[in-house]
A and B are shown apart, each in its own frame.
Chain A
Amino acid sequence: MSGALIVARYALREAVRRRVILVVLVLTVGFLALYGLGTAVTFNEVNSLAADDQLDDRVLAGSTLLGLAMFTILFLGAVLGVFLTLGAVRGDAERGLLQPIVVRPVGRTSLLLGRYGGAAVVCAVYVAAVYVAAMVITGVAGDWWPDDPVGPGAGLVLGVLVIAALSLLGSVFLSSTANGIAVFMIFGAGLAAGLLGQIGDALAVQTLEDVATVSSWVLPFEALYQAGLHALTEETGGITGVIVQLGPFGGAQEAGAGLWLWALAYLGLVGAAARAAFARRDL
Chain B
Amino acid sequence: MPTVLSCEALEKRYGATVALGGVDLEVERGELLGLLGPNGAGKSTLTKIACGLVRATAGRAEIEGAPAGSAPARAAIGYLAELFRFPEWLTADELIALHQDLAGSDGGAAERGELLELVGLADARAVKVAAMSKGMQQRLGIAQALVGSPRLLMLDEPTSALDPVGRRVVRDLLRELRSRGVAVMLSSHLLSEVELVCDRVAILVAGQVVARGTPAELARPRGVEVETGDGVRSFPEARRDDVPRIVAELVSSGQQVYGVNLLASTLEDAYLEAVGAA
Contacts and interface: CB of A to CB of B under 8 A. Distances in A.
Interface of A: 1, 3, 6, 10, 14, 17-18, 95-97, 99-107, 280, 282-283
Interface in B7-37: none
Contacts of B54: 282-283
Interface string B53-73: 111000000000000000100
Interface of B: 48, 51-55, 71, 74-75, 77, 79-81, 83-87, 89-90, 98-99, 101-104, 141, 144
Contact of B99 (A17, A18, A99, A100): A100
A102 B53 contact: yes
A105 B71 contact: yes
Contacts of A282: 48, 53-55
A106 to B, nearest CB: 5
A124 B17 CA distance: 45
20 contacts: A6-B98, A10-B98, A17-B89, A18-B89, A96-B83, A99-B51, A99-B79, A99-B84, A100-B144, A102-B52, A103-B77, A104-B74, A104-B99, A104-B102, A105-B74, A105-B103, A280-B55, A282-B54, A282-B55, A283-B53
A97 B75 contact: no
A97 B85 contact: yes
Given A103-B52, A103-B77, A97 B71 contact: no
B113 to A, nearest CB: 20
Nearest to A18: B89
Given A3-B102, A14-B89, A283-B48, A103 B79 contact: yes
A10 B81 CA distance: 21
Q: Which 10 A-B pairs have the closest CB atoms?
A: A104-B102, A17-B89, A96-B85, A282-B54, A283-B53, A96-B84, A105-B75, A6-B101, A103-B79, A103-B51
A282 B51 CA distance: 11
Contact of B86 (A1, A100, A283): A100
A103 B70 CA distance: 10
Given A102-B53, A282-B48, 7 more contacts: A17-B89, A99-B53, A99-B84, A103-B51, A280-B55, A282-B53, A283-B48
